[in-house]
Every structure is written in structure tokens, then in C-alpha cells.
Amino acid sequence: DTEVTQTPKHLVMGMTNKKSLKCEQHMGHRAMYWYKQKAKKPPELMFVYSYEKLSINESVPSRFSPECPNSSLLNLHLHALQPEDSALYLCASSQGLAQETQYFGPGTRLLVL
Amino acid sequence: GESVGLHLPTLSVQEGDNSIINCAYSNSASDYFIWYKQESGKGPQFIIDIRSNMDKRQGQRVTVLLNKTVKHLSLQIAATQPGDSAVYFCAENNAGNNRKLIWGLGTSLAVNP
């Protein structure tokens, strides 16, 4: 099973809302990632978790708050977002940071109004 | 059909022809390279990878070639099918960059029936 699942598939939220994106993998991977992708652009790294600890934060605004409750789950909490935050949010996982192949989920399409 | 990813972001080929998608990478220290396929509305899908100690690797209908002298990577798709229509991203990776993926801009492949 090489599947990474993400929920919801689509999300529309206002700038004052609080919402969460969820990601799950059951491959025993110990590294998990959040990416943001704008149309016709490559994914941009946001956060990396390794063994459930935040390893990399790519200077992401604090209105995005990641959480890794356990080795299979990764959340991204959203609060007070801006319209320019509208994008496809992708979760990925890999065996470890030294194992470079990252497997991606289908993404959550986020629209901020 | 053939493309240079940075200069021709769209490649159009006839069904059954071979496709070549090119990528120029930036860092001579990069030691791991990956090709991803991203269909519309989906997350990137791992296709094939290659390490810097190799210059060619073959998969099912796909071949990746690595030329470290000129820092060039290519993806060859044999007998291109309509289901191959997607955006293809190359990505490079090295230990000196915390193993973060550095993505190419992507090439859109359109297969004409």
C-alpha cells in the first residue's frame, strides 16, 4: 500500500474561519510533509516532520499551524487565512529524511474568500 | 517529440510516438533525481528515480537518463498513450540541502489521439 490520503478534497473558507486539513499514511513512513501548490507551478515545501517532531519550517506564516499527533497522521490547522492562500495543499510521506522518495496524497483544494 | 523543460513548457505528441522530456538541474552536488507525473486535479505521482552513480535507469515504458557533465536529466516515454497526458516534474535532492526536493518548473505533455 503506497497510499497517502487527505481530507477534505475541497474546502471553502472565509478569512475569519478556523479549519483543519488532515493527512494519513499507513506505510510506516517516519517523515511527513506539507506542500502548497499554485496553478501551473511546482509544489512549495511548507513543513517537514521527522519521527513526529517538526524538522523544517520554511518560514511559513503562523496562520498555518502543523500538528503530528502520531506517526500516521499529519494535520494542518488554518486560521485567519488570506485569499492568496488559496491553493492545492499536498501531503507527502517518505520512509525517513534520508530516504528521498516522497509519496504524495491527492491534495486538498482550498479556496479562501 | 522532445522538449527542453525550461524553454518549452508544453510538449505535444501523437499517440504511439516516443516522448522525451528534458530537465536541466542546478546543483552539481545533487545525488538523487526523481520524475513525478501530475494529472489535472491530482497529487504528483512518483514515476522513476535515479542516483548519481548511474546514468540510465529503465522502468515500464519509461527511461531516465542522467548526464552529470552537463547537469541534464531526461525522461523518455515509449509508445505514448493518452493516459500519459499530464505535467511532468523533475526534482533533485542532495544531503547538503537537508534532503529537500528542488523542483523543476514542469513540462505539460499533451498526447493527441
The pLDDT of residue A68 = 97
Range name among A35-49, A50-64, B9-23, B89-103 with the lowest pLDDT average: B89-103
B98 has a pLDDT exceeding 90? no
The pLDDT of residue B1 = 53
pLDDT, tens digit (0-9, with 9 covering 90-100), for B39-82: 998 999 999 999 999 999 999 999 999 999 999 999 999 999 99
The radius of gyration computed from the CA coordinates of chain A, to the nearest angstrom, equals 13
Query: Minimal Cα–Cα distance from A63 to chain B, Å?
Result: 23
User: What is the rounded average pLDDT of the residues A20-30?
Assistant: 95
Binary contact (B43, A40; C-beta < 8 A) = no
Q: Mean pLDDT score of chain B, rounded to an integer?
A: 90
A1 has a pLDDT exceeding 80? no
Q: How far does CA A1 lie from the centroid of its chain? A: 20
DSSP for A34-92 reads EEEE-TTS--EEEEEEETTEEEEE-S--TTEEEEEEETTEEEEEEES--GGG-EEEEEE
The pLDDT of residue B6 = 43
Pick the more confident residue, B93 or A67.
A67
pLDDT, tens digit (0-9, with 9 covering 90-100), for A33-89: 999 999 889 999 999 999 999 999 999 999 999 999 999 999 999 999 999 999 999
∠ CA(B79), CA(B82), CA(B87), 5° rounding?
100
Between positions 45 and 104 of B, the ones with CB within 8 A of A are: 45-46, 49, 87, 89, 91, 93, 98-101, 103-104
The pLDDT of residue B4 = 41
Cα–Cα distance measured from residue A41 to residue B34, given in angstroms and rounded to the nearest whole number: 17
Residues of A in contact with B101 (CB under 8 A): 45, 100, 102
